[in-house]
Each structure stands twice: as structure tokens, then as C-alpha cells.
């Protein structure tokens, strides 16, 4: 028998060629199965029957009432033709209007007869009217089998809604269900379903579209979320199992000269307990014979770079090369400078390679890594280029992981016949369970301790009227020998305006802080790499007192003498971005300050964000708050567009409980049957295939 789920949606009664094209274009719905997995986004109560007089403007999105037809009328010509049925009950009257399908509807409307009318109310000159409502005779309505009273509402687009009418989508789903519902097979083995109390898939699909009760609906939602998250987990954990079954990871058996000499002679300060613990974890991973795949989470300023450097020295001591990839030119150059400084006097070859590398630098890097003379290579995406050929790459660090995708991470593997150990680092704090889902099959380490002597950054919120005070404060700090960042937002849509704000601000500051006392440097994405670098050099060396910049400096820049971070139009930044920016100060022993500038008028949400910033410096707390403020829906959208999990109903942030359960379930399933080869597991195999490769991530959206 033909499988209707995979067949073209045009065969569903009521669809046809034209609507099928529209469904595909507007919602990506191509097959009957696609249509059935377009779930309602909310439900309305269909047991409620209004009286016309009760329906007020702006009340409900959809209403249902009983009314008798008092007359009909026609207006307009040709394509503008319109058919109106005038109806009333004891409390008032209304107009039902049709623009299409007039031939069909005029035959069904009988004067004097009573109908159940359902649709979207609108008001025109205080008169209630409904365009393309659904109507049933009372006989039909009463003969319908008793419904739960809940009716799904589907998200559509304007174009679709105008073609299909208020109830159109619902009717298509009814037809699709009639066609394909009986063919839905159960993918989950009975034992699994029993264990987790899951409703059968067919029942779940029926209840998600046509809920029998709110309890059944809840169970249906649970079941469908379970399937999605299980599909994702089977992939993630499957990859992990595969990685751990290969056992061809490099073994760093020795702690040797480079590591020891660095530890003994070069370490500028004692490691924090958390840094030591993470280095131990990495050391343990790299002696097992399995390839390491570890995520290091640590708040801004927690000292991840040092952990990375010491891990790379472990590789060097065991005869392997290491590399470190950073998301921006500035950051790569900074890491290079730090590493060169820290390793000064030790016999470890270090090179840098970025998109902006001149021929000489490039040649030195490429030849050095090919010959093995260069032990540590630092750079940007340029490290991924094909001509970058390592002699024996054993360890890869990826800094600020949220800026890179899985694909890029995976490409590092292909540089070697045997996969190097991989350490990815991020300061974007996300709850652990979520991190596991998002970052795939990584083990997670956390640096949960800041270096000693750090004082929380004092954070205040000023409006524009306090600008004079701000300038006074900047002068005072500079007089004490400190440096100041002034950061402007840069949002793609208004890029040109943003750059204007930035340069205006730069000029204003240059005027107010004139030479010879003050030097102001500027740094933004439109500058040539060499100019950017020169600005950064001026600021780092202390020649420049003030750095005016876009959020390019957001990630990782380290100038401990800078104690003031001024963020202009702070309301335009997200919470985690604000936190990242603030992390640029408070790196030395001095008291540091973050000043959030904004206009007087703020939305409630922006105000809450700025208040949260003033209240706490704890990145994990801010991340939680962020989740709350933005709401699960929004985050879900962000994550989904970012990572293309393509989940229809589960929300990895809001459905942590289902996520936890499916992780456990996937682990048990794969332990018993790693290849899902057992005949009972055919459905699971199919589920895994459906969600394969869906977590291509682009975390630039999260930060
Ligand atoms: P992030 O984790 O944000 O990448 P960095 O690695 O840039 O942080 O470190 C922030 C600052 O803290 C740097 O100036 C670094 O030298 C300093 N630092 C790192 N570890 C320690 C430590 N154990 N004690 C004191 N300062 C430290
Ligand atoms: Mg860093």
C-alpha cells in the first residue's frame, strides 16, 4: 500500500496544485507527513458559544455563536465581488462575508435558518463581521460527535490565511488525518513506551490536533517531545559511543620539560583550584587512549587561556604539535602575544597565522608546522585552510566556541589521520544539561572560581543626562593612570547609523579629552586589519587612554590596566553580551567600573536587563535571568534558527525534564544495542536517521 505520509500534500482533499505550492513556500510543508507535524501552537475552547451582544472588540481571536440568517446581499464586480450573509440572534446582528467560493457558499446559506458560526471577529463601524467564517447548520453541529471542546489554532502566514480562511488550515489537517492517520506506525518499542508511560504515536498525533481532553493533550505533547529529543540524543550519544570505541587517541604519557619548566619558572601567579582541577581533567583524558572532546566553560576573566596554554605544553612534551583557533584577528594576535611572552626563554617554537598574515609570516607558519619546528600555532579560521599541514597535530584548542560551528570543529579532525584531542572553550554560560545537548558529545569542565583579588566590577546605569558626570569620572580614572573602553553597539540592520554614532562619539570624546593629555584610539570592523592592530597596540601599551570601539572587543581582549567600561546604548545589547563586555575590565587588582548608558525611555525588558547587570556579576546567574527575561519561546527560536535542530515541539531550554529522561533512555538503548541493529529497534533507527546531522550550530546568535 502506498505510504500517504510521504506523498505530496497536493493529494490532500482541499489542497491541490496551487495551495500545495503556497504551503511549501510559506511553511515548508511538502508531504502529508509535514502537514501532520505542523502542530497547533495553541487551543481554544469550543464549548463556549457566545451571544452576539457579548462579543466585544479585541476580545477573543476566534469566536463561535448561534445565529439566524436574515438576508443576503452581493456587492462589487468580478474579482472584487463579495457575498454577505446578514445574521442575528436576540442580542444583536452580524455580517458574514465571503470573497471567494461564493458559488459554493450561496447554495448553503438559507434564509431563516439557524447556523453555528465560527471565525475571527472584526468590527467595522461598530458592526461585528466575520470574513470567511466556518458555518454549520445546527443539525450538523449537534450530530457531530461530542468534541473535547478544544480546537487547535495553527500558525499560518498572511498569504495562507487569506487563501485558506480562518478554519482552512484546520480542515486540511482533518483531511490529511483521515487519509494518513491509520498508516502511522509506532517507532518506539513497547517496553520503552511502557517504561516512560508514553502514549502511542498515533494517539499522540490525533490528540495534538484533536485533543479529547487537556490531560490527553498534555500526554500527547509529552510523547511528541520525547520522540524529538530522543532522536537528537540517539545521534549525539551514538557519535560518542563511536568515538570511544575507536581508542586511537594520542596518549600523552609524560609530563615533560616544557610543562615543568613553565610551571616552575614562568607561571606569573599560582593557579586557582579550578584551573588545577581542569588541567588534571585534561591530563587524565589525554592518557586514556581515547580522543578527548572537552568543553571548558568559565566565566569571563576566569583564566581559560592559561589552562589552554598548559594543555598545549603537555602535547608538546609528548612530541606533538598543538594549535589554538580564535574567532577574531584581534583575539588571535593577543593570544599569540601572550603565549610568546609567557614562553619567553623556553625552547618551544610558536607561530601565528591569520587571514591578514603577510607573506613572510604566512610562509614561516606554514613551513614551520610542516617541518615540525613550530610546536604551537595560533590563529583564526585561517588554520582550517587546506594548505595548513601539520607534521603531527595532537591537540586543538578552540577559543570562544560559541562563535564556531560543529562543522568547523569537525574539520580539525581531517587534518590528521588520527583525530587530535579537542578542547573548546566558552564564556557563554549555559546550564549544563543544555550544554550537553547543544554542544553534542562533549565532556564538560567548569572553571567556577575567579583568580584571587578580583573585586566585583561596580556597575551603574546612567541616562544621557549624566554625560558630564561620566566624562568627569573618566578624567578622574585616567588621572590615576587607568584606561577606559567606550563601546558602541553594532547591529547589522542599522550598520551605517551605528558607525555614524561611533565616529560621532569618537569625535566628541577626542574634543573633550584633547591632546596632549589624552590619546583616544578607535577600533571597528570597517578598519583595515593593520589599523585595527595599531589601535589595539596603542591601547595595550598604555599609549592610548581611551579605546572607542564596537563590540569587536567583546570577546577575550585582555588589558588589565583598563578599569572603566562605558557601554553606549546599553539597552541594545543582550544580557550575555553586556556581561562579556563588562568582563573586559576588573582583570587587574584595581577597582573597576562598568557604566551602562541609555536613553530615558526604556522598555520594561531592557530596564530589567540593565538592573540585573547592576545587581550581579555572576555570569551563570545572569544566564538564568536571561532565560527568564527572554522567555523560553524566544530562546527556542534563537537556538533553533541557530542550530537547525528543527524541533517542532520540544524546547531544549524549557523541556529540561524531558531532555534528561531522553538522555537516560538513549544511553540505555545504545548500551544494549549500540548499532540499533535489533529487529525491535527499526523504529529507533529511523528516528535516529531523521534527526541526524541536525545540530549544525551557529552560536553567534546566542552571544
Ligand atoms: P578568560 O577565561 O576570559 O579567557 P583570561 O584567560 O583572558 O580569561 O584571563 C584573564 C586574566 O586573568 C588574565 O590577565 C590572566 O593573566 C589572569 N589570570 C589567569 N589565571 C590567573 C591566576 N591563577 N591568578 C591570577 N591571575 C590570573
Ligand atoms: Mg578568553
Instruction: Give the number of the ligand closest to the Cα of residue 448.
Output: 1
Mean pLDDT: which of 268-272, 404-408, 489-493, 547-551 is highest? 268-272
Nearest C-alpha neighbor of 206 from the set 189, 231, 230, 182: 182
User: What are the pLDDT digits (tens) for 479-498?
Assistant: 999 999 999 987 666 777 88
Higher pLDDT, 419 or 681: 681
Ligand 2 centre to CA of 334 (Å) is 10
User: What are the pLDDT digits (tens) for 382-414?
Assistant: 998 888 999 999 999 988 765 554 445 556 656
Instruction: Give the number of the ligand closest to the Cα of residue 449.
Output: 1
Distances (CA, A) of 697 to 11, 323, 408, 439, 615: 35, 22, 10, 8, 32
For the chain, the residue count is 703
What pLDDT band is residue 375 in, cutting at 50, 70 and 90? Answer: very high
Ligand 1 within 6 A of CB of 211 = no
Chain centroid to CA 26: 23
Q: What is the pLDDT of residue 429?
A: 61
Within 8 A by CB and 6+ apart from 21, the residues are: none
Examine the pLDDT at 658 and tell me if it is beyond 50: yes
Within 8 A by CB and 6+ apart from 208, the residues are: 39, 40, 152, 217, 220, 221, 224, 649
Query: Which residue has its alpha carbon closest to ligand 1 atom 9?
Result: 303
Angle made by CA atoms 88, 90, 94, in degrees to the nearest 5: 25
Nearest C-alpha neighbor of 7 from the set 170, 176, 156: 176
Conformational region of residue 594, where left means phi above 0, alpha means psi within -120 to 50, and beta covers everything else: beta
Write out the DSSP string of 631-697: HHHHHHHHHHHHH----SS--TTTTHHHHHHHHHHHHHHHHH-TT--SGGGHHHHHHHHHTTT----
Ligand 1 within 6 A of CB of 619 = no
The atom number, within ligand 1, closest to the CA of 269 reads 24
Angle made by CA atoms 459, 623, 524, in degrees to the nearest 5: 65
Average pLDDT over residues 619-631: 73
What is the Rg, in whole angstroms, of the alpha carbon atoms belonging to the chain?
31
Average pLDDT over residues 426-442: 64
Ligand 1 within 6 A of CB of 123 = no
In whole angstroms, give the CA distance from residue 36 to residue 141.
Answer: 25
Instruction: Give the number of the ligand closest to the Cα of residue 401.
Output: 2
Q: Cell numbers of 37, please?
A: 507535524
Ligand 2 centre to CA of 300 (Å) is 7
What pLDDT band is residue 297 in, cutting at 50, 70 and 90? Answer: confident
For the chain, the average pLDDT equals 85
Specify burial of residue 402 (Cβ count, 10 A radius: 0-12, 13-18, 19+): buried
CB 45 within 8 A of CB 149: yes
Ligand 1 centre to CA of 301 (Å) is 5
In the chain, % helix, strand, coil (3-state, to 5) comes to: 50, 20, 35
The atom number, within ligand 1, closest to the CA of 305 reads 6
Distances (CA, A) of 181 to 3, 32, 177, 218, 223: 11, 10, 5, 20, 16
**Strand 114-119 relative to strand 63-75, pairing:** antiparallel
Ligand 1 centre to CA of 307 (Å) is 9
Mean pLDDT: which of 32-46, 236-250, 683-697 is highest? 32-46
Ligand 1 within 6 A of CB of 429 = no
**Percent of the chain clearing pLDDT 90 (strictly above):** 47
User: What are the pLDDT digits (tens) for 106-164?
Assistant: 888 999 999 999 888 888 888 899 988 888 888 877 766 555 578 888 887 778 877 77
In whole angstroms, give the CA distance from residue 650 to residue 227.
Answer: 9
Examine the pLDDT at 442 and tell me if it is beyond 70: yes
Q: Cell numbers of 681, please?
A: 529497534
In whole angstroms, give the CA distance from residue 206 to residue 177.
Answer: 8
Ligand 1 within 6 A of CB of 305 = yes
Cell match 563601546: residue?
Answer: 487
Phi, psi values for residue 286, rounded to 5°: -85, 5
Q: Which of 298, 303, 446 maximizes ligand 1 atoms within 8 Å of its Cβ, making it the mutation to test the pocket?
A: 303
Ligand 1 centre to CA of 546 (Å) is 22
Cis amide prior to 491 (ω within 30 degrees): no
Query: Which residue has its alpha carbon closest to ligand 1 atom 17?
Result: 303
Q: Which of 399, 451, 563 maximizes ligand 1 atoms within 8 Å of its Cβ, making it the mutation to test the pocket?
A: 451
Query: Which residue has its alpha carbon closest to ligand 1 atom 20?
Result: 303
Phi, psi values for residue 296, rounded to 5°: -110, 115
Ligand 1 within 6 A of CB of 302 = yes
**Strand 458-463 relative to strand 350-353, pairing:** unpaired
Ligand 2 centre to CA of 520 (Å) is 25
Query: Which residue has its alpha carbon closest to ligand 1 atom 4?
Result: 304
Instruction: Give the number of the ligand closest to the Cα of residue 583.
Output: 1
Weakest-pLDDT range from 47-61, 301-315, 323-337, 364-378:
47-61
Query: Which residue has its alpha carbon closest to ligand 1 atom 26?
Result: 451
The atom number, within ligand 1, closest to the CA of 399 reads 4
Query: Which residue has its alpha carbon closest to ligand 1 atom 1?
Result: 301
CB 132 within 8 A of CB 105: no
CB 553 within 8 A of CB 573: no
Q: What is the pLDDT of residue 622?
A: 84
Q: What is the pLDDT of residue 643?
A: 42
Within 8 A by CB and 6+ apart from 690, the residues are: 231
Mean pLDDT: which of 147-161, 464-478, 517-531 is highest? 464-478
The atom number, within ligand 1, closest to the CA of 271 reads 23
- CATH numbers and ranges of domains, the chain: 47-145 (2.40.50.140), 257-285+303-426 (3.40.50.300), 458-616 (3.40.50.300)
Examine the pLDDT at 696 and tell me if it is beyond 70: no
Q: What is the pLDDT of residue 697?
A: 35
In whole angstroms, give the CA distance from residue 485 to residue 8.
Answer: 58
User: What are the pLDDT digits (tens) for 609-621?
Assistant: 999 999 998 887 8
Angle made by CA atoms 499, 403, 618, in degrees to the nearest 5: 90
Ligand 2 centre to CA of 28 (Å) is 40
Q: What is the pLDDT of residue 638?
A: 38
Write out the DSSP string of 157-203: -HHHHHHH-TTHHHHHHHHHHHHHGGGPPP-S-HHHHHHTTPPPHHH
Ligand 1 centre to CA of 588 (Å) is 9
Ligand 1 centre to CA of 302 (Å) is 6
The beta-carbon contacts of 611-617 under 8 Å, at least 24 apart in sequence, are: 611/461, 612/575, 613/459, 613/461, 613/570, 613/575, 613/578, 613/579, 613/582, 614/459, 614/460, 614/461, 617/456, 617/457, 617/459, 617/582, 617/586
Q: What is the pLDDT of residue 636?
A: 37
Ligand 2 centre to CA of 316 (Å) is 21
What pLDDT band is residue 415 in, cutting at 50, 70 and 90? Answer: low
Ligand 2 centre to CA of 399 (Å) is 7
Amino acid at each position: 500500500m502506498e505510504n500517504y505520509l510521504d506523498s505530496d500534500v497536493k493529494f490532500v482533499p482541499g489542497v491541490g496544485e496551487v495551495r500545495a505550492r503556497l504551503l511549501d513556500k510559506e511553511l515548508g510543508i511538502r508531504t502529508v507527513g509535514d502537514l501532520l507535524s505542523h502542530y497547533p501552537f495553541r487551543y481554544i475552547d469550543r464549548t463556549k458559544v457566545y451571544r452576539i451582544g457579548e462579543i466585544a472588540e479585541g476580545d477573543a481571536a476566534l469566536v463561535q455563536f448561534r445565529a439566524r440568517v436574515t438576508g443576503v446581499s452581493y456587492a462589487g464586480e468580478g474579482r472584487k465581488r463579495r457575498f454577505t450573509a446578514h445574521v442575528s440572534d436576540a442580542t444583536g446582528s452580524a455580517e458574514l462575508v465571503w470573497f471567494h467560493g461564493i458559488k459554493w457558499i450561496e447554495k448553503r446559506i438559507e434564509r431563516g435558518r439557524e447556523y453555528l458560526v465560527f471565525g475571527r471577529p472584526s468590527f467595522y463601524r461598530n458592526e461585528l463581521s466575520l470574513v470567511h467564517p466556518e458555518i454549520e447548520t445546527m443539525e450538523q453541529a449537534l450530530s457531530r460527535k461530542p468534541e473535547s471542546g478544544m480546537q487547535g489554532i495553527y500558525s499560518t502566514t498572511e498569504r495562507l490565511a487569506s487563501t485558506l480562511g480562518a478554519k482552512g488550515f484546520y480542515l486540511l489537517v482533518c483531511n490529511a488525518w483521515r487519509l494518513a492517520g491509520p498508516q502511522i506506525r509506532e517507532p518506539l518499542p513497547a517496553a520503552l513506551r511502557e517504561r516512560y508511560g508514553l502514549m502511542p504515536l498515533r494517539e499522540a498525533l490525533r490528540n495534538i490536533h484533536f485533543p479529547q481532553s487537556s490531560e490527553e493533550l498534555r500526554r500527547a505533547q509529552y510523547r511528541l517531545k520525547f520522540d524529538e529529543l530522543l532522536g537528537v540524543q540517539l545521534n549525539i550519544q551514538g557519535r560518542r559511543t563511536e568515538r570511544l570505541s575507536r581508542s586511537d587517541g594520542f596518549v600523552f604519557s609524560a609530563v615533560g620539560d616544557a610543562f615543568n619548566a613553565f610551571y616552575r619558572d614562568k607561571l606569573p601567579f599560582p593557579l586557582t583550584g579550578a584551573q588545577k582541577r581542569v588541567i588534571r581533567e585534561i591530563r587524565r583524558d589525554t592518557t586514556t587512549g581515547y580522543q578527548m572532546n572537552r568543553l571548558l566553560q568559565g566565566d569571563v576573566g576566569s583564566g581559560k587561556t592559561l589552562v589552554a596554554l598548559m594543555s598545549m605544553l603537555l602535547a608538546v612534551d609528548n612530541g606533538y604539535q598543538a594549535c589554538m583557533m580564535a574567532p577574531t584577528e584581534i583575539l588571535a594576535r593577543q593570544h599569540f602575544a601572550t603565549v610568546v611572552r609567557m614562553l619567553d626563554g623556553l625552547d618551544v617554537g610558536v607561530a601565528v597565522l591569520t587571514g591578514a598574515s603577510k607573506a613572510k609570516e604566512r610562509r614561516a607558519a606554514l613551513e614551520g608546522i610542516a617541518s615540525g619546528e613550530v610546536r604551537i600555532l595560533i590563529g583564526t579560521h585561517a588554520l582550517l585552510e587546506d594548505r595548513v599541514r601539520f607534521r603531527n597535530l595532537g591537540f586543538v584548542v578552540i577559543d570562544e566556541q560559541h562563535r564556531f560551528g560543529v562543522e568547523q570543529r569537525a574539520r580539525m579532525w581531517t587534518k590528521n589521520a588520527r583525530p587530535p584531542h579537542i578542547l573548546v572553550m566558552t564564556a557563554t554560560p549555559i546550564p549544563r544539561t543544555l550544554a550537553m545537548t547543544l554542544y553534542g558529545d562533549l565532556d564538560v569542565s567548569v572553571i567556577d572560581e575567579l583568580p584571587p583579588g578580583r573585586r566585583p566590577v561596580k556597575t551603574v546605569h546612567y541616562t544621557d543626562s549624566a554625560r558630564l558626570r561620566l566624562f568627569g569620572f573618566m578624567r578622574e580614572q585616567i588621572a590615576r593612570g587607568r584606561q577606559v573602553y567606550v563601546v558602541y553597539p553594532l547591529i547589522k540592520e542599522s550598520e551605517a547609523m551605528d558607525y555614524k554614532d561611533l565616529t560621532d562619539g569618537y569625535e566628541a570624546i577626542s574634543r573633550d579629552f584633547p591632546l596632549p593629555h589624552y590619546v583616544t584610539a578607535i577600533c571597528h570592523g570597517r578598519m583595515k586589519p593593520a589599523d585595527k592592530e595599531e589601535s589595539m597596540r596603542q591601547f595595550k601599551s598604555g599609549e592610548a587612554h581611551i579605546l572607542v570601539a564596537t563590540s569587536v572587543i567583546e570577546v577575550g581582549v585582555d588589558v588589565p590596566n583598563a578599569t572603566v567600561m562605558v557601554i553606549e546604548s546599553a539597552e541594545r545589547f543582550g544580557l550575555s553580551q553586556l556581561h562579556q563586555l563588562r568582563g573586559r575590565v576588573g582583570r587587574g587588582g584595581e577597582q573597576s567600573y562598568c557604566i551602562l548608558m541609555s536613553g530615558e525611555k526604556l522598555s520594561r525588558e531592557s530596564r530589567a536587563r540593565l538592573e540585573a547587570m547592576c545587581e550581579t556579576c555572576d555570569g551563570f546567574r545572569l544566564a538564568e535571568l536571561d532565560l527568564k527575561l527572554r522567555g523560553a519561546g524566544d530562546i527556542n527560536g534563537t537556538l533553533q534558527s541557530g542550530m537547525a535542530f528543527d524541533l517542532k515541539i520540544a524546547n531544549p531550554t524549557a523541556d529540561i525534564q524531558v531532555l534528561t529522561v531522553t538522555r537516560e533512555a538513549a544511553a540505555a538503548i545504545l548500551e544494549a544495542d549500540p548499532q540499533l541493529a535489533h529487529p525491535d529497534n527499526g523504529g529507533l533507527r529511523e528516528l535516529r536517521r531523521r534527526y541526524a546531522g541536525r545540530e549544525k550550530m551557529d552560536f553567534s546568535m546566542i552571544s
